[in-house]
Chains A and B, each alone.
Chain A
């Protein structure tokens, strides 16, 4: 089953989303800030990253840029999750290197669709 790295600082969101993904059969690892997220992505063996954008330490934009610049994590798909729906967020996320973008609150069916689409591409 696919391994998901969920980078999310809000405990409730992290708990809720991870449990629902696990219920759907995914294997989920979690990081609580951007730095931890980057470190885990580099050392671990993940199929996809769900990246919150407003994170402590280093934010989601920067974490994504770092992962996409490094050769070993360049191909790792990243879906940006943001509570901001302000104009420009989508462009900003894609510009930073995110492969897709979704807004919170999470519509699980929609998010699963996006995950499966990216996993389908990468395999």
Chain B
């Protein structure tokens, strides 16, 4: 198995940082989509509560209260995390933390509810945020979010909760408006239905038939026809026919076709003395025996609404100016009847369309593709308002400009037009945040030159707002000079404005999320680390260019392949599969060897992390970093270091063999000489012996240090009595202490008991410290104090403390800085005066660490030094090579 380090260091931080923001944004997007799709108030409350109760947001206690207008009570409409509180639970007026929100309509944060004068009984401690739900400047309810922890909320929470409350408020306002509107539309239709029954004569064909009959009788003609003009198809349709030789009702005539078509085109009356000789006759009347014809257009002002024709079948009768005068009396009657009927019909149609529209409108705001959504909103607004066309623009915060994104029948495609604040109708409403009606656009002083070429008569515009914040503007236009905008139109436009606003806001959130995604995609694309993502079946979903370069497979080759089949060999497959399996669950990190497409092997650092979307594990991401060079460098360094250690070990061995002889013979000869009573020789031999011992201790220190550095120094734990060990150590140290005429004081309680650790090292440490103390103290006192100490942490080991203090020369803070570094005595000059290698304390510190303890020093120049060692009474052996400063 390959070595594995803890994966926590880099991977988790990375994932949290990215996942957090993106997931919170996704949660907010879901929340606003759910709110926008809600069709009644209850659904909105549920959407707010469930939307906020999202793992990514981390809110667990949420409630929405609505104010009962009659009593002022807050009534719970939806909640999460309050199992004991029923829906419709009432909080009396003025009670509870959220009452303050009703007083000033502002967000309130209580960092510690137990310190507040009044708090909800559902919670005993913790913190609470209360956010107002505001519709039309009135606080209609409160969003309450609690935590069982004090100080659980911050600025970001306030922003999230305010955004959620605003979205909910807008939606509630919209639903309330919609409900009122629907009721009004129902009433309106009922009224029209009743009217229709009462004034049945209004029905167009009957009116026209009556007009025609009276005209025929008055003019003394054989018969006649009346047709109405269909604006959409630019055709005449015969709706009344009297005695012309056939029933022509339903006949359609193009402009210019037949007598009525001719007058509809010229808008002038026409007399045809001999129809059969007339060149303009229509084939549709070929079978009719008509002699003379008189036709006239039916006009409202100069606008064509239909045509009337009368005929003589008697060849002796002709039409004269008197007939023309008479027909001119009837024509306006017929025209007014047609116009009334048309208005009535369109009014009824408008009511019906309005109902249909209101029913489907709420779907619109969930559409995320902004121009499409806004175009849909605009089209419906144009239809409902019966206007010629309109525009929708979104507000760009960065440039403080409006940009037209949807345009419908305003005479040109204005999409992409940018308007400054105050420029044109939409610019003005964006600035004032109030709707605006311009009865005559061409006389209006505020018009933008960008719209100078349009034939627009009147304009109605409104700002698009989310919680008072400008997100865009909408405008509708009439090109018909007879149409103007009234308060009813404004009311209807106000139905659409929140829809468009929500669509823009949703799209903005969506765009932000998409940009975030693109940002990370760019990072992945340009990463020097090979990155690959897998689905749950361990098939490659995507890989970046670094992956292609590292392993030699193109993206096309890699996608849909099994990763481990692609880049492992027989030898590494089971290990790689284990990584993959684990990484589906939790981050893994290690070093391994993988194969390239050409079969060559590459050493890689592998990081595998699960990919979690919406709380579900959908696959994993693998990161591979080529460490061939790193490994090569490490190997070279290890080889060099190993050579150094080997050299030191053999050198010290080679040095010690002759030294053995020097020390041994001098000691032996000294014993013999003493027996013989040659005292002078004995002193000289003692000097040889002492110098030899010193040289040996230097060599031993160098060897110890090289062993520690090579990771070859082990800890041999054995049980021993602390008291016995102290007796041995003080006995050994006694000659050193006596050298400078010092006193040794040992303070050790009799019940110290035993330790289980490396006796040799403890002994060496204490001897070293006592030796140092003796060296730097003259005619003073050296104290060794030993005691048991409580563990530093609850589950830490029992400690034994050894304190060696002296009354010697001490050290300055500067001298203490490098005290435990190898080859550093406080000053170079001390070496010559006091001897020593400068290795003793470095080794002492390493030994302490190896046994799980540490060493500290307190000192001041001229005031002596105190070295304190704390060692676990029972050693938990540290693995070789893990010691560091």
- A-side residues, CB < 8 A to B, are 10, 12-13, 16-17, 19-20, 23, 83-88, 90, 104-106, 108
Contacts and interface: CB of A to CB of B under 8 A. Distances in A.
B714 A105 contact: no
Contact of B665 (A16, A83, A104): A16
Given A83-B657, A87-B712, A105 B663 contact: yes
Contacts of A16: 661, 664-665, 668
Contact of B713 (A87, A90, A105): A87
A4 to B, nearest CB: 16
B756 to A, nearest CB: 17
Nearest to A82: B653
Contacts of A19: 668
Given A23-B671, A90-B716, A105-B696, A83 B656 contact: yes
A86 B880 CA distance: 13
Interface string B656-691: 110111011101100110000000000000000000
Contact of B668 (A10, A20, A83): A20
Nearest to B716: A90
B22 interface: no
Contacts, number: 51
Contacts of B455: none
Nearest to A84: B653
Nearest to A11: B661
B185 interface: no
Given A85-B700, A86-B712, A90-B716, 5 more contacts: A20-B664, A83-B657, A84-B649, A85-B703, A105-B660
A85 B713 CA distance: 10
Contact of B714 (A10, A12, A83, A88): A88
A16 B668 CA distance: 8
Given A20-B668, A108-B667, A87 B714 contact: yes
A17 B667 CA distance: 11
B664 A86 contact: no
Contacts of B657: 10, 13, 83
B707 interface: yes
Interface of B: 649, 653, 656-657, 659-661, 663-665, 667-668, 671-672, 696, 700, 703, 707, 712-714, 716, 880
Contacts of A104: 656, 660
A105 B661 CA distance: 8
Contacts of A84: 649, 653
A11 to B, nearest CB: 10
B780 to A, nearest CB: 30
Most A C-beta atoms less than 10 A away, residue of B660, B667, B713: B660
Given A23-B671, A85-B703, A12 B653 contact: no
Contacts of B663: 105
Contacts of A88: 712, 714
B660 A83 contact: yes
Nearest to B715: A87
A105 B714 CA distance: 21
18 contacts: A10-B657, A12-B660, A12-B665, A16-B665, A23-B671, A23-B672, A83-B653, A83-B656, A83-B660, A86-B712, A87-B880, A88-B714, A104-B660, A105-B656, A105-B659, A105-B664, A106-B660, A108-B667
Nearest to B659: A105
Contact of A87 (B656, B671, B672, B707): B707
Contacts of B649: 84, 86
Most B C-beta atoms less than 10 A away, residue of A10, A13, A83: A83
Nearest to A20: B668
Contacts of A85: 700, 703
B707 A13 contact: no
A17 B656 contact: no
A84 B703 CA distance: 10
B661 A12 contact: yes
Contacts of A105: 656, 659-660, 663-664, 696
Contacts of A17: 664
A102 to B, nearest CB: 12
A48 B321 CA distance: 161
Contacts of A13: 657, 660-661, 664
A10 to B, nearest CB: 7
Given A20-B668, A105-B696, A86 B661 contact: no
Contact of A86 (B671, B696, B707): B707
Contacts of B671: 20, 23
Contacts of A23: 668, 671-672
Nearest to B675: A23
Contacts of B703: 85
A72 B787 CA distance: 50
Nearest to B703: A85
Contacts of B667: 108
Contacts of A10: 657
Nearest to B713: A87
Contacts of A86: 649, 707, 712
A85 B696 CA distance: 13
Contacts of B664: 12-13, 16-17, 20, 105-106
